[in-house]
Amino acid sequence: MLVLGIESSCDETAAAVVDDNKQLLSSVVYSQSEHQVFGGVVPEIAARAHLEKAPAVIQKALDKANVCFQDLSAVAASAGPGLIGGVIVGVMMAKAIAAVHHLPFIAINHLEAHALTVRLTEEVDFPYLLLLTSGGHCQILIAEGIGRFTKLGETLDDAAGEAFDKAAKMMGIDYPGGPEIERYALKGDPQRFELPRPMVGKPGCDLSFSGLKTALRWTIESFSADGQVEHAQLTEQDKADLCACFQNAVLQTLCSRLKNGIKIFKKKYPEAKHLVVAGGVAANKALRQDLESLVKKYKLTLAAAPINLCTDNGAMVAWAGMEHLQAGLSDPLDFSPRPRWPLDPSCKK
């Protein structure tokens, strides 16, 4: 079987083809550079770019896989959550392909696509504990099967990736902030500035990053004569030290909250083996190192997708589509794109 996956939920226009032997036959990603000047994604610009670039990206994915539409078994698209303009573009293109070529259409939850990516590249059985952390989402869940997720905790405000981007902007560092902060942090002193670890020591698995971001802002303002963050006189070493301290605080917060999640997970599934980290922030090498140390204490194995498949891509959508297809699941062509779509159906947001 062959599945085409289309991703357009934020600022990557992507398509990929996978087969049922876990072979990634092609993966094409167009990353929109149009947003760099704004320091963040502008939804209207993103939607227009998807509309312009998607047809060529899809065709290139087919060409690289050496297949045509008639060879496909199904077409899948990220149908939410995400920036609704972009989501609509991807879903409508997938529906058109499905209708014209008489193929099953599969609406994929963007978060589930991230969550399942590791099953394309590694042997990871359900159930597993999942840290899903990206620019728009930060959650701790138990993945029990296709479409079956139990949320243990989530961010109460900013996602970790969003906090990285906003922190980078305050320091005058290029967008996207996460990779740039990681690069700066390698040359920094993580002990120079004192920053809080939100929620650490509290019960449960919820997270928070807005207070940490505010504390960073106050620290940056101390480098300004008029107390304005945009007037802060930061040297490159100041930026490196700030990045190291901020990254350290984010990662320690994630690991602390995960400890509570692991205890809940192991109590429910004592024989389960894996902690999976997914989403764009999963590409952070320092996070992976910290999680490796954490899982050893609890006799779990860390599983993560290759770094190039952590950020938004078509391969994750195609593979999630394959998992749905193998389970006999597809969706009608009147499926409505969703700006919000929780993984845990018991959650309202």
Q: Which amino acid is at 56?
A: A
Residues 200 and 65 in one domain: no
- Asked if residue 300 is part of any domain, the answer here is yes
How far is the C-alpha of 16 from the C-alpha of 14, rounded, in Å? 7
The pLDDT score that the predictor gives to residue 175 is 83
Mean pLDDT lowest among 175-179, 244-248, 290-294, 308-312: 175-179
Please indicate, yes or no, whether residues 95 and 166 belong to a single structural domain of this protein.
no
270 in the same domain as 206: yes
Minimum mean pLDDT range among 110-119, 295-304, 337-346: 337-346
Do 207 and 100 lie in one domain? The reply is no
Q: Is the dihedral of CA 264, 269, 271, 276 positive or negative?
A: negative
Whether residues 300 and 314 fall in one domain:
no
Is 335 within the bounds of a domain?
no
Q: Is the Cα torsion angle 179, 89, 140, 171 positive or negative in sign?
A: positive
Q: Is the pTM of this model over 0.75?
A: yes
Per-residue pLDDT of 203-249, as tens digits, reads 999 999 999 999 999 999 999 999 999 999 999 999 999 999 999 99
If you search the block for the tokens 């779990």, which residue do you land on? 300
Same domain, residue pair 314 and 274: no
| Peptide bond just before 127 cis, omega within 30 deg | yes
Do 55 and 182 share a domain, yes or no?
A: no
Q: Is residue 347 part of a domain?
A: no
Kindly indicate the confidence band of residue 38, based on its pLDDT and cuts at 50, 70 and 90: confident
Q: How many CB atoms lie within 10 A of CB 191?
A: 10
Q: What is the band of 348 on the pLDDT scale with cuts at 50, 70, 90? A: low
CB contact at 8 A, 52 and 85? no
The label of the residue with tokens 């993945």 reads: 143
- The helix/strand/coil state of 17 is strand
Domain that holds residue 230: 125-304
Q: What is the pLDDT of residue 41?
A: 84
DSSP 32: -
The C-alpha atoms of residue 258 and residue 239 are separated, in whole angstroms, by 28
Examine residue 334 and state whether it is found in any structural domain, yes or no: no
**Whole-angstrom Cα distance, residue 96 to residue 98?**
5
Q: What is the DSSP string of 67-112?
A: --GGG-SEEEEEEESS-HHHHHHHHHHHHHHHHHHT--EEEEEHHH
Who wins on pLDDT, 345 or 290? 290
Name the token pair of 253.
């917060």
Report how far residue 122's alpha carbon sits from residue 303's, in angstroms, rounded to the nearest whole number.
Answer: 8
Residue 257 lies in a domain: yes
One domain, residues 227 and 241: yes
Q: What is the pLDDT of residues 71-130, one digit of tens each?
A: 999 999 999 999 999 999 999 999 999 999 999 999 999 999 999 999 999 999 999 999
How many domains, the chain? Answer: 2
For residue 311, which of 50, 134, 57, 159 has the smallest C-alpha distance?
Answer: 134
Q: What is the pLDDT of residue 31?
A: 86
Q: What is the mean pLDDT of residues 300-311?
A: 96
What the block records as the tokens of 136 is: 């728009």
> Taking all residues of the chain, what is their mean pLDDT, rounded to a whole number?
95
The predicted-structure confidence for 194-204, as pLDDT tens digits, reads as follows 999 999 999 99
Q: Do 198 and 66 fall into the same domain?
A: no
Q: Averaged over 306-329, what is the pLDDT?
A: 97
* Structure confidence at residue 34 as a pLDDT band (50, 70, 90): confident
* Host H or E run for residue 215: helix 210-221
State what percent of residues in the chain have pLDDT above 90. 92
**What is the rounded CA–CA span in Å between residue 196 and residue 211?**
8
Closest among 251, 262, 222, 214 to 238, alpha carbons compared: 222
- The answer to whether residue 13 scores a pLDDT higher than 80 is yes
Domain-located, residue 265: yes
Q: Tokens 């993560």 belong to which residue? A: 304
Q: Which of 286, 35, 64 is nearest to 165 (CA)?
A: 35
154 and 288 in a single domain? The answer is: yes
On whether the CB atoms of residues 325 and 1 are closer than 8 A, the answer is yes
Identify the band that residue 168 occupies on the pLDDT scale cut at 50, 70 and 90.
Answer: very high
Please check whether residue 332 lies inside any domain of the structure: no
Residues sharing a CB contact under 8 Å with residue 150, sequence separation 6 or more, in sequence order: 141, 142, 144, 344
Q: At 254, which CATH number?
A: 3.30.420.40
**DSSP helix, strand, coil percent of the chain (3-state; round to 5):** 45, 20, 35
